[in-house]
Amino acid sequence: MKSISASRIIHMVNEAHRQPPGSIKAHILVAAKAEFAQYGFEGARMQRVADRAALPKPNIHYHFKSKQQLYLAVLERIIESWNLAFDQVSQESDPAEALEAFIRQKLKQAQQDPAASRLFANEMIQGAPNLKHYLNTSMRSWVQDRALVIKQWMLAGTIGDVDPERLIFLIWSATQHYADFQVQALSLLNRAEFDDPVLTETADFLVTFILRGCGLSPRDRPS
């Protein structure tokens, strides 16, 4: 699989991600996300995408020129909604409140759309052949901006001393774990499915643990 420029990716997003929710393209993208998430790009089979979408295989190729283009269309839909709940954070935000919202949103995503997390994990494991440029540009500046806010919190004394970038990595990994390693977590917790009770228990643990790691305690906040 050849590396692809960011402008090419962005172009493809504009073509692919704004499909009306009920459209056939959107339907195919859902099927493709599940297939690529489970098997990775090279392991994915166009026939299985077609089967998942309950369509003949040539219909997939009619709507998406190639396997590569289908993959990129799926990938870019995921990137958009990746870190939404931490997007609006600023120096004025309450650290405990902002971190809690971020953790709970990431875990909710892991429950509601585990395939998205698994597809992203596959892309990273593979060495990010299609996202290297994204990592070095928009994702890096996203992290740097949030890291700056955390540093400002540290200077203001409203949060303990922590490495901001590695704190973000820890929140990503600890939450995405429940999507990527769901089969393991459920088996070892002796639970049948990732239902709301499991979600709540896990979110409460993570919020308490991570806030404590940041030198904060969960507290009553003005509503």
> Interface with its own copies by CB under 8 A: which residues?
37-45, 118, 121-122, 124-128, 132, 135-136, 139-140, 143, 160, 162-163, 165-167, 169-170, 172-174, 176-177, 180-181, 183-185, 187-190, 201-202, 205-206, 209-210, 212-215
Q: In whole angstroms, how close is the CB of 60 to its own copies at the nearest point?
A: 18
**Amino acid of residue 178:** Y
| Chosen residue from 3, 66, 90, 141 binding DNA by CB under 7 A | 66
Question: Residue 199 to residues 20, 37, 89, 177: CA-CA distances in angstroms?
Answer: 30, 21, 24, 12
Q: In whole angstroms, how close is the CB of 139 to DNA at the nearest point?
A: 27
Q: Which of DNA, its own copies, none interacts with 132 (beta carbon under 5 to 8 A by kind)?
A: its own copies
DSSP letter at 7 equals: H
Neighbours of 15 (CB within 10 A): 15
Largest CA distance in the chain: 60
Residue 57 binding DNA, by CB under 7 A: yes
| Chosen residue from 1, 11, 62, 204 binding DNA by CB under 7 A | 62
Rg (CA), the chain: 19
Q: Which of its own copies, DNA, none interacts with 59 (beta carbon under 5 to 8 A by kind)?
A: DNA
Residue 129 binding DNA, by CB under 7 A: no
Write out the two tokens for 133.
């440029």
Residue 19 binding DNA, by CB under 7 A: no
Nearest residue to 169 (alpha-carbon basis) of 202, 135, 198, 134? 135
Q: Give the C-alpha separation, 221 to 35, whole Å.
A: 42
Binding site residues, DNA, CB under 7 A: 24, 44-47, 55-59, 61-63, 65-68
